[in-house]
């Protein structure tokens, strides 16, 4: 099979012919029809994720068709259209049994703990517990776009921050996860404000119904505090600066939601904790979404309340996908905006 492959962090991204994966007894092999290109894939290639061992194939947002199944798989068959959360639970620990597979201590993640979906085929473990059927009316590209950024934003806003209609929500960063958060918050009836420095990203945010704030020229914290502060503030980028601004944008007893992954040399991040204490703020994290929670999100997509297809701005093959992954190292790479989907058959 063909796959995007690297043998050293920040090294060459090659398209190689690799051996076909095989399913274990409880797993499946999926023929990848679409896979999203996410900044987490870039972090993995940069060497920021300790789960990755070399050589490696990245990719964790995927959708496709089962091509082989292990002997103990009962609920799925060859030919089924499926997707999978980027966090795959063991299915047996206390967290998985409580429905919180996204924090399973022995979780596996395609593209991190093992070879991922920037390939023609990918192996997934514990299929009966982790797979999600794709409705026939949903394209593979849209199903792939749901897998990490959209699902993380959905669970974060709906289950963690519990956004309500009429609340003010400010979202820092209008990449894939930020745009997903904007769409979801609008569907929940919130007043949404979107912060970025990139004109193309802000244009998409505006098209989704957000009031945009270009932080090159407007101080978003001062802007929100003049309105009385946000009920919910989201750091969808993942930096100490945007996380701090998010917290400082809140009203008293507001909720900060951290969606973007923050990586610093020490692994620690400064936070304005005096504000969090004095204003009794809630600081919330969200890490993906378990397979069992997908039906609520898919129902909103089916109803038209959510339309993630509008976030997909380009579809490329593996070779161009490797170029796009490397281009994330360039500050202006986000000029295309939206979500890039890789189709290995192109």
pLDDT digits (tens, 9 = 90+) for 243-292: 999 999 999 999 999 999 887 766 678 889 999 999 999 999 999 999 99
Q: Are residues 159 and 293 in the same domain?
A: no
Q: Are 257 and 190 in contact, with CB atoms under 8 Å apart?
A: no
Q: Are residues 137 and 273 in the same domain?
A: no
Final residue before a domain boundary, out of 285, 308, 323: 285
For the chain, the first-to-last Cα distance in angstroms comes to 14
In the chain, which residues have pLDDT < 50?
334
pLDDT at 16: 96
pLDDT at 60: 97
- The reported pTM is 0.92
Burial 53-71, CB ≥16 within 10 A → b, else e:
eeebbbbbbbbbebbbbbe
Q: Are residues 19 and 105 in the same domain?
A: yes
Strands (E), 204-244: 211-214, 230-235
Q: Three-state SS for 315?
A: strand
Which residues does residue 214 pair with via DSSP β-bridges, in sequence order? 196
Q: Are residues 255 and 319 in the same domain?
A: no
pLDDT at 261: 83
Burial 23-41, CB ≥16 within 10 A → b, else e:
bbebbbbbbbbbbbbbbbb
> What are the Cα distances from residue 103, in Å, to 95, 97, 292?
7, 11, 14
Q: Are residues 93 and 197 in the same domain?
A: no
Q: Are residues 135 and 236 in the same domain?
A: no
Both structure tokens of 301: 């997509």
Q: What would the DSSP string read from start to end of 109-122?
A: -BTTTB--SSBSEE
pLDDT at 331: 61
Q: Are 208 and 233 in contact, with CB atoms under 8 Å apart?
A: no
Q: What angle do CA 26, 29, 32 make, to 5 degrees?
A: 145
Final residue before a domain boundary, out of 260, 285, 310: 285
Given the structure tokens 């898919």, which residue do they identify? 298
Closest residue by Cα to residue 221 from 201, 199, 241: 241
Closest residue by Cα to residue 177 from 286, 265, 264, 297: 286
Q: Are 120 and 31 in contact, with CB atoms under 8 Å apart?
A: yes
- CATH number of the domain enclosing 304: 3.90.180.10
Q: Are 181 and 153 in contact, with CB atoms under 8 Å apart?
A: yes
- CATH number of the domain enclosing 157: 3.40.50.720
Show the domain range for 8. Answer: 2-148+289-342
Q: Are residues 10 and 144 in the same domain?
A: yes
* CA dist., res. 20 & res. 184, Å (int): 38
Q: Are residues 121 and 69 in the same domain?
A: yes
Q: Indicate the number of domains in the chain.
A: 2
pLDDT at 337: 75
* CA dist., res. 109 & res. 124, Å (int): 9
pLDDT at 95: 97
């Amino acid at each position: 099979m063909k796959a995007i492959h690297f043998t050293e962090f920040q090294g060459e991204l090659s398209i190689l012919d690799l051996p076909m994966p095989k399913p274990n007894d409880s797993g499946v092999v999926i023929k990848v029809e679409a896979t999203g290109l996410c900044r987490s894939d870039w972090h993995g290639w940069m060497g920021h994720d300790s789960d990755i061992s070399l050589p490696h194939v990245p990719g964790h947002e995927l959708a496709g068709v089962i091509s082989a199944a292990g002997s103990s798989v009962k609920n799925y068959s060859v030919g089924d259209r499926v997707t999978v959360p980027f966090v795959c639970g063991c299915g047996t620990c206390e967290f998985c049994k409580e429905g919180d597979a996204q924090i399973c201590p022995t979780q596996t993640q395609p593209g991190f703990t093992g070879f991922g979906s920037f390939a023609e085929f990918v192996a997934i473990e514990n299929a009966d517990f982790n797979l999600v059927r794709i409705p026939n009316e949903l394209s593979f590209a849209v199903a792939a776009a749901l897998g990490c950024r959209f699902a993380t934003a959905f669970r974060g806003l709906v289950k963690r921050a519990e956004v309500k209609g009429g609340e003010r929500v400010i979202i820092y960063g209008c990449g894939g996860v930020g745009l997903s958060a904007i769409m979801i918050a609008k569907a929940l009836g919130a007043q949404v404000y979107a912060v970025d420095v990139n004109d193309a990203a802000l244009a998409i945010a505006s098209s989704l119904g957000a009031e945009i704030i270009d932080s090159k020229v407007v101080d978003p914290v001062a802007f929100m505090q003049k309105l009385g502060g946000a009920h919910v503030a989201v750091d969808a980028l993942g930096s100490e600066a945007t996380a701090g601004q998010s917290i400082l944008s809140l009203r008293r007893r507001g909720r900060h939601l951290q969606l973007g992954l923050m990586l610093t040399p020490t692994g620690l991040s400064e936070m304005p904790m005096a504000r969090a204490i004095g204003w009794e703020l809630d600081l919330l994290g969200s890490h993906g979404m378990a397979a069992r929670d997908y039906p609520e999100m898919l129902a909103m997509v089916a109803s038209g309340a959510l339309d993630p297809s509008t976030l997909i701005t380009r579809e490329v093959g593996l070779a161009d996908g490797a170029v796009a992954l490397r281009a994330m190292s360039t500050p202006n790479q986000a000029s295309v905006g939206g979500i890039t989907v890789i189709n290995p058959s192109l």
